[in-house]
Structure 1
């Protein structure tokens, strides 16, 4: 049985997660999967530390189209990754393997998913879903497996590292420290919005508290967008540093930036939900049904803040060693 938090598996996800724009080939694959199974919904799901992230999707409910994620612990796809094998659920109501939340919140009753492999590691699932009990024959599972090979090949193409930059080690370290300190301040600035959303999620079932004004929420969303771009730059610099200066501290920095990048991605679904509320494309009921995403984003924000502080400490130690 695979470890969902295996660092090698999560490392393969790093560059896939950083390439978040819509991808025509992946979009085509999920449409073909839905057609193959005669199912209303299909996903390319990447199973991260706290969430499953939908890298491509077809036919989802509006709140899932906005957040593009659900909690990992409440997903079907975690079982595909954990067992590294196809999973077929004909009636989720009576299947003891299935988490109850997806059945109760979204009415998913049937599921078929196959593993997606990147350099030998199962990173997620290509799956189809239906709101009524049904069977999926061998032809469907075999067809999904063939499409899964295409999806895995495309994800591998997205994993390719960016070419190293030519900056000297000391210049890279100075830039890394400045960038990390900027992120530290930005994460502190967005913390009240994350905490308020977490408080509302904890009170699910009651009226959500109006802890933030639309202006405050909009400012938090803009802050996150800036942070994500900075985190991407930080990750590229750290990878280049690790290639050009093969020291233990450089490897630590690279690992911490990979962790940070993943956490930033996992905060993203909350930001997309906030944008949906601000733009009026999501009603309160739809936002409430995705409250579990808020709870996961709160955990990711805490680990992101810890990762940034670790990067700052390690960069300072490496700068001192380079200067001596």
Structure 2
């Protein structure tokens, strides 16, 4: 598939997700083991939604505004790190994450040909701090995931 820029990437992200989902499962399973977290996910932007891929079969589609994994897509940055969601003002808390018992979260962006297309995220049920080395490793995995997706274009 040849791409013609960001608009085209937005249109093909769902197909890329399907093509790459077996690899996404391996990446997220590796993240769960390596970082000792109960939740690892790759989230790909689909318009105003984010489709989450986990270490198990299947995926889930949520509005970007409703998913903590949508934060790196809504507020593009180096990374989004929240050591304890209970310390975040209530009106800013991602209610779905709180309902699922998530206490800490870190997400890093995934770029495909310099376009932000998704995030690689970790969540824990306890307040947690991630070291600089762990954050860099997560960024490296996100960078690798972007290259993996590029192989399918």
TM-score bracket for the superposition, by shorter chain length: 0.7 to 0.9
| Correspondence for 1:85 | 78
What does residue range 6-155 of structure 1 map to in structure 2 within 5 Å? 9-19=6-16, 20-21=18-19, 23-54=21-52, 56-58=53-55, 68-81=60-73, 82-96=75-89, 98-155=92-149
Given the two structures, how large is their TM-score scaled by the length of structure 2? 0.81
Q: Within 2, Cα distance between the matches of 1:95 and 1:15?
A: 35
Given the two structures, how large is their TM-score scaled by the length of structure 1? 0.41
Deviations 1:252-282 (A, max 9, x none): xxxxxxxxxxxxxxxxxxxxxxxxxxxxxxx
Shift of 1:37: 1.4
Query: Which secondary structure does the structure 2 equivalent of 1:39 belong to?
Result: coil
Q: Within 2, Cα distance between the matches of 1:114 and 1:99?
A: 19
Deviations 1:207-246 (A, max 9, x none): xxxxxxxxxxxxxxxxxxxxxxxxxxxxxxxxxxxxxxxx
Q: 1:144 to 1:98 in 2, by over 3 A?
A: farther
What does residue range 158-197 of structure 1 map to in structure 2 within 5 Å? 158=152, 160=153
Higher strand share: 2
Q: Within 1, Cα distance between the matches of 2:12 and 2:123?
A: 27
Point out where structure 1 has 5 or more consecutive residues left out of the alignment: 1-7, 60-64, 161-324
| Correspondence for 1:294 | none
Contact 1:117 1:123 survives alignment (8 Å): yes
Q: CA RMSD in A?
A: 2.3
Point out where structure 2 has 5 or more consecutive residues left out of the alignment: none
The alignment of Structure 1 onto Structure 2 pairs a total of residues equal to: 146
Q: Within 1, Cα distance between the matches of 2:92 and 2:134?
A: 20
Contact 1:91 1:110 survives alignment (8 Å): yes
Kindly indicate whether structure 1 or structure 2 has the higher relative contact order, using CA contacts under 8 Å at least 6 residues apart. Answer: 2
Q: 1:150 to 1:73 in 2, by over 3 A?
A: same
Query: Which secondary structure does the structure 2 equivalent of 1:58 belong to?
Result: coil
Higher helix share: 1
Q: Within 2, Cα distance between the matches of 1:149 and 1:92?
A: 26
> Which structure: larger Rg?
1
Q: 1:98 to 1:131 in 2, by over 3 A?
A: farther
Q: Within 1, Cα distance between the matches of 2:80 and 2:38?
A: 18
